[in-house]
Amino acid sequence: MKIANLRGPRDLVIEDLTLDTQNLGPDDVWGETEITGFKIGTDRGNYEGAENVPGAPDYPRWVGDSNLAAIKAVGSNVTKFKPGDRVISRAPHTSDWIQNQNGPLVKVPDGVDSEDAVWAHLYTLSGLCYRKANFVPGEYVAVVGLGVLGLGAIGLGPAMGARTIGIGNSPIRNDMAMRMGAHATFLYNDRDLTSKLHEYTNGSGVDLVILTANPWPAYRTSVEIVRDNGRVSIVSLLGRGEDDLDFNPLAMQYFYHKSLSLIAVNGTSGYLYPSSDSDRFEWNKQCEFVLQLMADGNLNPSQLITHRLHYTQMIEAYEMAYEREKTMLGVVFTWKD
């Protein structure tokens, strides 16, 4: 098998390792990767040597967590999958993998393009931004940070019943947000941003901000534009790889006086009407929901793919991300030799 390993900052290599596919355990599934997606924000931070994320592996470490593969073989107890099924997992950038059938592994429905499906786990995280914040259909939702994750939140908005507003740092990203279904977009540094949002929301204000960008200025924009008693759903790794703060993020005018709720999007989300035998909104079930939206034609992340590269070009892609190339958004690596 081939796998991308990061030995240290800006030291990415493709290594050859041995994968024992002849002695699968009873619950094992062996997959052969077709394509993987590049989650630019988080993996760029790992690549450039930003502070470690608690619980994440240190160097040397694997990279990537959006993997679409075809099942080659299964263990004796596996009932969920069969050879030939396409599946998405959170496996890294690798040519082959073996996983337990009960892990984050979901079958791709027939008719869903692989270049859409590969983003399903990432878009499941986008959906969690709504659920963790107790989103109510009909609310105005502004998404600050229009990378793949933020655009996922934009794309899911109409299906969730949201009026979505993209807040970007370039006209290119704002245009992509409109293509994904945003009802409006604005640049974060627009001097009239607050008044324009007030007008767009008919005076109601932004009920929920979904923050997907790491830089502190993005946080500041989020707490400034959300209405009093509003919520900021934070899925970004705030301040990672950024300069020290030049303001107090919990200053009274941003937090106390506005009675804000700041919500960390991680882990699971509670549900008022639980099933008796399972978690109705556990990760794989939410991922299945995202895939069904793709099957219905309501979610098409592949339209945002800007780069299709062979896995041997991976270092080139990471260097482009390191340089903050604005035209780079959806990147997929193919693993077929």
Average pLDDT over residues 119-148: 96
Q: Which carries the bigger pLDDT value, residue 45 or residue 9?
A: 9
Mean pLDDT of 138-166: 96
Q: Cα–chain-centroid distance for residue 52?
A: 18
Question: Among 51-65, 83-97, 162-176, where is mean pLDDT lowest?
Answer: 51-65
% the chain with pLDDT above 90: 80
The per-residue pLDDT for range 196-210, each reduced to its tens digit, is 999 999 999 999 999
Per-residue pLDDT averaged across 88-95, rounded?
97
User: What does the pLDDT read at residue 198?
Assistant: 97
pTM (2 d.p.):
0.93
pLDDT at 242: 80
pLDDT digits (tens, 9 = 90+) for 252-270: 998 999 999 999 999 888 8
pLDDT, residue 217, reads: 93
Question: pLDDT for 239-255, tens place per residue?
Answer: 887 888 888 999 999 89
pLDDT tier for residue 65 given thresholds of 50, 70 and 90: very high
Domains of the chain, first to last? 2-119+303-334 (3.90.180.10), 134-264 (3.40.50.720)
Of the two residues 145 and 326, the one the predictor is more confident about is: 145
- Give the model's pLDDT for residue 59: 87
Output the pLDDT for position 79.
Answer: 94
Grade residue 175 by pLDDT with cuts at 50, 70 and 90: very high
